[in-house]
Amino acid sequence: MLLCFLQVAIRALFLGYIFGIGILVSINAPPSWQVFGIYTTVLASFHYTEFLAIAWSNPAALSIDSFILNHSIAYGIAACLSWMEFIIERHYFNLMKRPSFVCYFGLMLCISGEILRKLAMCTARHNFNHVVQNEKRNNHELVTHGVYNFCRHPSYVGWFYWSIGTQVRYHKFFTIRLYTFYNFVLYFYYLIFN
């Protein structure tokens, strides 16, 4: 039990550091790095609030994996590719990486996607967890109220808008296609099992 608390504390501390560094970079760094600072802040807050939302809405499903830091190999590869693309583009096209209307539009996509996803988690409560279910549990109910009244899979839609927003946010022209393809394949797979 102590080991589990320690693992949670280490991940939360790591995300807190990333969040803080992102804030510092977004305020103090040259304009071409400020976009990346805001991106890291959005990324850290997303993963931290995933854990918090599950802890609040469905504590029985809470685990160390609720941070979804180890989501999948494909997610890790896509994130690393987007970071490399940012650094290469910043080096060769420095002016393109400055805050602009497109950046703020991407930030709004991230915020709205995160809000939709967290509303879905809180509305579904014990019916939500991060593992795709192959069998119906005895206490599972079809949720049709709240955000589920407007969208059948608001958690997936929220994740889609959040992840695409992260790429729009800092002008990723290659990886936005990769993220879109990844999300389409991922959720096509999830929807088949749901």
Check which CATH number belongs to the domain holding 182 and give it.
Answer: 1.20.120
DSSP conformation letters of 122-171: HHHGGG--SS--SS--TT-----SGGGGT-S-HHHHHHHHHHHHHHHHTT
Q: Which two tokens stand for residue 32?
A: 């071409």
Query: Which of 159, 164, 151 minimizes the C-alpha distance to 130?
Result: 159
Residue 23 pLDDT greater than 80, yes or no: yes
Report how many domains make up the chain.
1
Residue 188 pLDDT greater than 80, yes or no: no
Question: Hey, what amino acid is at 181?
Answer: F
Residue 144 pLDDT greater than 80, yes or no: yes
Q: Which two tokens stand for residue 25?
A: 């970079």
Residue 12 pLDDT greater than 90, yes or no: yes
Distance between CA 170 and CA 161 in Å, rounded? 14
What confidence tier does 26 reach under pLDDT thresholds 50, 70, 90? Answer: very high
Q: What confidence tens digit (pLDDT) does each residue in 58-93 have?
A: 998 899 999 999 877 878 888 888 889 889 888 898
In the DSSP assignment, the letter for residue 69 is T
Question: What is the three-state SS of 93-126?
Answer: CHHHHCCCHHHHHHHHHHHHHHHHHHHHHHHHHH
Residue 82: give the domain boundaries.
2-193
User: Do 81 and 178 contact (CB within 8 A), yes or no?
Assistant: yes
Looking at per-residue pLDDT, the higher value among 79 and 185 belongs to 79
- Classify residue 41 as exposed, middle or buried by CB count within 10 Å of its CB (0-12, 13-18, 19+): buried
pTM: 0.85
